[in-house]
Amino acid sequence: MNNKATNACHLPELKSGEISFQPGRIFWATLVRELNLALRRRSDLINPLVFFLMVATLFPLGVSPEPSVLSTLAPGVVWVAALLATLLSLDSLFRSDFDDGSLEQMLLSPQPLFVVVLGKVLAHWLLTGLPLTLMAPLLAVMLFLPAEGMWGLMLSLLLGTPTLSLIGAIGAALTVGLRKGGVLLSLLVLPLYIPVLIFGTAAVEAAVTGLPLGGFLALLGALLAAGLALSPLAIAAGLRISVSG
Amino acid sequence: MPRWFYQLASPRWCYQITGKLLPGFAIAALLLIAVGTVWGLAFAPPDYQQGNSFRIIYLHVPTAYMAQSIYMTMAIAGAVGLIWKMKMADMVLKCCAPIGAWLAVLALATGAIWGKPTWGSWWVWDARLTSMLILLFLYLGVIALNSAIESESTAAQATAVLVLVGLVNIPIIKYSVDWWNTLHQPATFKVTEKPAMPVEMWMPLLLMVIGFYAFFAVALMLRLRNEILRRERRAGWVRELLQQQRG
């Protein structure tokens, strides 16, 4: 494990006995650390994206190669594939930190766990949700999504995937202590993803049919705002429970 | 905090008090459900549009209500367990989940049976049906998480967090009819308005709903008493109790 070497280096230096409250610095330190760690295991970064592409390939093979059929399915298929790809990447969110003990150090640190967790989730989104969003047009073309729907797809994914990361991290935090958390994690998280999926695909469909999609994007934004404010609390609570148990 | 709140924390006190309450609730549940069933199925007037097929609401509506109410009970128990670290709340949370899951299954099944003659199909992807299905998934997740974690206190805390997170879903269920406004008819009872049904139709329904609440209390108390005995099996009072029953 080469994680340990990277743990110490980015935390702000303190004089002995001094405890300073620096949410901004701890957030930045966590984010940089996570991105560094991820860049050293690049294959893990690619996997969700390949999965995303493969799931989308299955639909023309399994349902029908007809453009008319595929173009009606496209918004939902791209969204479901993005959702599953996010789900796949969640299990490793806290796993290596839990295994090598650095998670325990984060819980013990005097800095607010809320901020640490937010940094980790943002890193997760930058490494999965954002690439998925950027890759979505490729899938949209493969599935004959009408060109009018493209912006709706990108915008809805841009607003929706951070919420997926936030909600998913709750499940990851609750199951990190379990040896076989993977399937259980999807069981816990998938029902909670449904509102995001509904509003996400509705936005794309509205864009395709030329209806205003602002309302759906606003709802996705509302879900994101609520997720940003509330889910770090649940994630932090889940991590404390998992580590102490 | 009142005294009874502290007493609730004692498994022994809870075991005794549920022992005293159990017969009363059991009789109430039996009477209410029996009267409600016979009245609803045999004597209530048939619906002018749906004929006799509407009568399944006497099972469907109470089970659907209960599936939602039990989730609320679980959430309250979970919050109490997280805040006051109360063992009894953990047990209530654990015991509620299977009851709620079964009632959600019943609500979905009776809804499907009603949907076939009325809508012409067993299942319709309508907001309310879907939310009930999601509620069932939430229950299954709660049960799965609770049984996956070995340490009882850790399992209870983790489940409580999950239940509270899922609680966000309950308003979506309740108000999804108004949001998406699809095939499903709006809620039968509204606090602010008089029901659209005649008295002889909703009266048995009301009896059934209250009866199902009593039934839930009975089912919960039975499970809870088992759970208390299992967890407190090494405690002195449980041994004494078992010895008394044997001798």
Q: Could you read off the pLDDT of A181-205 as tens digits, one per residue?
A: 778 999 999 888 888 888 888 889 8
Per-residue pLDDT band at B34 (split at 50, 70, 90): very high
- Give the range among A170-179, B111-120, B157-166, B210-219 with minimum mean pLDDT: B111-120
- Give the range among A5-19, A216-230, B101-115 with minimum mean pLDDT: A5-19
Closest CB from B153, B158, B169 relative to A174? B158
Task: Report the pLDDT averaged over residues A52-68.
Answer: 90
Closest CB from A187, A194, A237 relative to B140? A187
Per-residue pLDDT band at A123 (split at 50, 70, 90): very high
The CA distance from A129 to A180, in Å, is 24
What pLDDT score was predicted for residue B44? 79
Q: Enumerate the domain spans of chain B.
A: 55-235
Which tokens hold the place of B181?
A: 């406004």
- Compute CA distances A64 → A54, A71, A210, B155, whole Å: 16, 11, 25, 45
Task: Report the pLDDT averaged over residues B38-59.
Answer: 81
What pLDDT score was predicted for residue A6? 47
The CA distance from A131 to A133, in Å, is 5
| Cβ contact A194–B157 (<8 Å) | no
Per-residue pLDDT band at A232 (split at 50, 70, 90): very high
Distance from CA of A245 to the nearest CA of B (A): 5
| Among A189, A241, A244, the residue to mutate for chain B (most B Cβ within 10 A) | A241
DSSP secondary structure, A4-61, as one string: HHHHHHTSPP--TT-----HHHHHHHHHHHHHHHHHTSHHHHHHHHHHHHHHHHHHHH
Task: Report the pLDDT averaged over residues B206-215.
Answer: 94
DSSP secondary structure, B111-132, as one string: HHHHHHHHHSSS----HHHHHH
Please list, residue by residue across B94-112, b when 16 or more beta carbons sit within 10 angstroms of its beta carbon and e when fewer do: bbbbbbbbbbbbbbbebbb
What pLDDT score was predicted for residue B186? 54
Percent of chain B with pLDDT over 70: 88
DSSP secondary structure, B1-18, as one string: --HHHHHHT-HHHHHHHH
Residue B147 contacts A, CB cutoff 8 Å = no
Q: Enumerate the domain spans of chain A.
A: 23-244
For residue A16, pLDDT beyond 90 = no
